[in-house]
Amino acid sequence: MMIETNTTPVYWANKKAYDKGIYRVIANQGSTRSSKTFSLSQLMIDIASGGINQVTGQHYGRKEISVVSPSLPHLKKGARKDVLSNLETQMLFMEDNFNRTDQIYTFPATGSYIEFFGADDSQKVRGPGRDILYINEANLLNRETYIQLALRTREMIFMDFNPADEYSWVYEVADKTGNKLIISTYKNNLANLSKEQIAEIEALKDADENLWKVFGLGQRGTSSETIYTHFKVIDEMPERGEQVMGQDFGYNVPSALIDIEFYEGGLYWDEVLYEPKLTTTDLIERYKALKVKMGRPIYCDAAEPKTIEELVRAGYNAMPADKDVTEGIRKVKSMPLYITKRSINLLKEARSYKWKVDKDGRVLDEPVKFNDHAMDAGRYGTFTHLTGFQFVPVGGTL
C-alpha cells in the first residue's frame, strides 16, 4: 500500500481515470517536466502494491505490469529510475525482490510485478503478455511496435509523450473514442522544479513559438521549421569509414558525446554519452568506461579550453571545434545522415531541432537554443573535420 508521498495533479488525474476502469488507453501528452513519468511511475507502484481503487474502494488485485521505453539505457535513466527511487522513498524497495537479470521487480504481498524492457528488444515486444503497459516517450516508438505491445496487453495502456511531431500515431490513439487524453504542463509540477528549470522552459516563449507550444504548453507542434528532416534511422554504425567524435560540454544540461563516421558519402551519428552533472573527472571516467580511442579526433565545444586541455592531458585527441552554426548545419544537411536507433536523445533532439522564427513569421538562419546538446556535438565533429578547421592546439602552437 502506498505510504503518503508527494504527488502532483498529474498523478491524481491518472489514478482517477484508471480507477474508473473504462479506458483502454490513458495518454499523457505534456510539456517538458510536467511530472508525467514520475507520476506514472508512482501509479504503477500503487497498483502493483495493492493500493485502493477510489471508485470501488477495493484493493487492486494481482497485476503484471510492463514499463517500456524506446531502449533499456533510456529506461534506466528515466522511468525505471523513477520507479526504483519511489520504491525507496516509500520504503518498499527490497533488493531480493528485484531480479536485475530479467529486470523484474516483484511485490510478494500481491504477487504483482513490474518488468522493464526496451522497445528495441523484439523478443520482449513479441513475448508473453501483461495486464498493464506503460510506454514512456511513446512517440519515439514506431506504430508497429506499439501494435505488437498493445496486442499482448490484456487490461490497459498508459503512455506519455511530448507532442513535438506534427503527425504521429500517438495522436490517433490519444484522440480515439474510448481512450483518455490527459494534457499536463510544467505548471502542474512547479513545486518540484527549481527556478532555473522554470526559467529555462519559459525562455522558450521568446525564443520560439512552436517549441513553447510543445515544451511549455504541452500542445501539438508543427514541423515546418524543423532543421534536419532528411535523416534515416539505422541499426548499427558501418564501422568501415573514417571515424571521429563530437563533444558538447554541459553541467546543468547534458554533456553529449557523439560517434561520427564518414562512409561512402554518408554521414553516420551514434550517441555515446548524454548525461548532465558530469565534472571533467567524471567525463574522463566515462571515456575510459566507454573505451574512447586515444587517437581518435574529438572535436569539442571551443568555449571550454580548460576542459579540452584536461582531456588532452588524460591522453585523448581532443581539440576545439569550429562553432560556425549556420555553416555547420548547412554541411550536415548537405549529406545523407544516418542515426543509430539506440541514439534516443539524439533522435529526440533531431526531431525538435528548429530554426528560429521572428515575430513576422520569417524563418531565421539560426536554430533555437533548446535541447541542442547532441545536435551541437554532431555538428562540431562533422563540420570541423570536413572543413579542416585550422585549430591551435591548447597549450601549444601549430
Interface contacts to Mg ion, rule CB under 5 A: 37
Burial degree of 272 (CB within 10 A; 0-12, 13-18, 19+): buried
The DSSP line for 322-357 is P--HHHHHHHHHTS-EEEETT-HHHHHHHHH-BEEE
Q: Which of Mg ion, ligand ATP, none binds 210 (CB below 5-8 Å, type-dependent)?
A: none
How near is the Cβ of 325 to ligand ATP at its closest, in Å?
Answer: 25
Which residue is listed with cell 505534456?
30
CA distance 303 to 221: 32
37 binds ligand ATP (CB under 6 A): yes
Number of H helices, E strands in the chain: 15, 17
188 lies in the binding site for ligand ATP (CB under 6 A): no
Tell me the number of residues near ligand ATP by CB under 6 A.
16
Return the closest-CA partner of residue 254 out of 224, 286, 223, 226: 286
> Smallest gap, in angstroms, from Cβ of residue 85 to ligand ATP?
8
Q: Which of 168, 137, 134, 176 is nearest to 153 (CA)?
A: 134
Residue 106 touches which of Mg ion, ligand ATP, none (CB < 5 to 8 A by kind)?
none
C-beta of 252: minimal distance to Mg ion in Å?
18
CB of 28 to Mg ion, least distance (A): 9
For the chain, what is the radius of gyration of the CA atoms? 22
- Note whether 32 binds ligand ATP by CB under 6 A: yes
> 25 is written with which cell numbers?
488507453
- In the stretch 225-264, what mask flags binding to ligand ATP with x, by CB under 6 A? ----------------------------------------
The residue among 110 and 136 lying less far from Mg ion, judged by its C-beta, is 136
Q: Which is nearer to ligand ATP, 34 or 168 (CB)?
A: 34
> Is 89 exposed, middle or buried (CB count within 10 Å of its CB: 0-12, 13-18, 19+)?
middle
Q: Which stretch binds ligand ATP (CB under 6 A): 90-98, 170-178, 189-197, 253-261?
A: 189-197
Partner from Mg ion, ligand ATP, none contacting 8, C-beta within 5 to 8 A by type: ligand ATP
CB-nearer residue toward ligand ATP: 35 or 343: 35
List of E strands, 189-314 = 232-234, 242-248, 255-263, 266-275, 298-300
Phi, then psi, of 64 in degrees rounded to 5: -100, 120
Q: Which three cell numbers stand for residue 393?
A: 592546439
Q: Closer CB to ligand ATP, residue 36 or residue 379?
A: 36
* Rounded to 5°, angle at Cα 214 from 209 and 219: 105
220 binds, among Mg ion, ligand ATP, none (CB under 5 to 8 A by kind): none
Q: In the block, which residue shows the cell 500500500?
A: 1
Quick one: what does residue 35 bind among ligand ATP, Mg ion, none, with the CB cut-off 5 to 8 Å set by partner type? ligand ATP
Residues forming beta bridges with residue 159, ordered by sequence position: 27, 135
Q: Which three cell numbers stand for residue 298?
A: 574529438
C-alpha cell at 10: 498529474
C-beta closer to Mg ion: residue 37 or 243 = 37
- Examine residue 38 and tell whether it contacts ligand ATP (CB under 6 A): yes
**By CB under 6 A, is residue 30 in contact with ligand ATP?**
yes
Cell of 145: 511496435
User: Hey, which residues does 256 pair with through a beta bridge?
Assistant: 248, 274
CB of 277 to ligand ATP, least distance (A): 12
Nearest approach, Cβ of residue 118 and ligand ATP (Å): 16
CB nearer ligand ATP, residue 72 or residue 138: 138
What would the grid cell of residue 103 be? 529486470
Count CB neighbours of 264 within 10 A.
8
- When asked if residue 6 is in the footprint of ligand ATP (CB under 6 A), the reply is yes
Q: Cβ closer to ligand ATP: 89 or 317?
A: 89
The binder of 192, among ligand ATP, Mg ion, none, by C-beta within 5 to 8 A per type, is ligand ATP
Q: Looking at beta carbons only, is 30 or 118 nearer to ligand ATP?
A: 30
Binds ligand ATP (CB under 6 A): choice among 14, 49, 162, 371: 162
Binding residues for ligand ATP, rule: CB under 6 A, are: 6-8, 30, 32-38, 160, 162, 189, 192-193
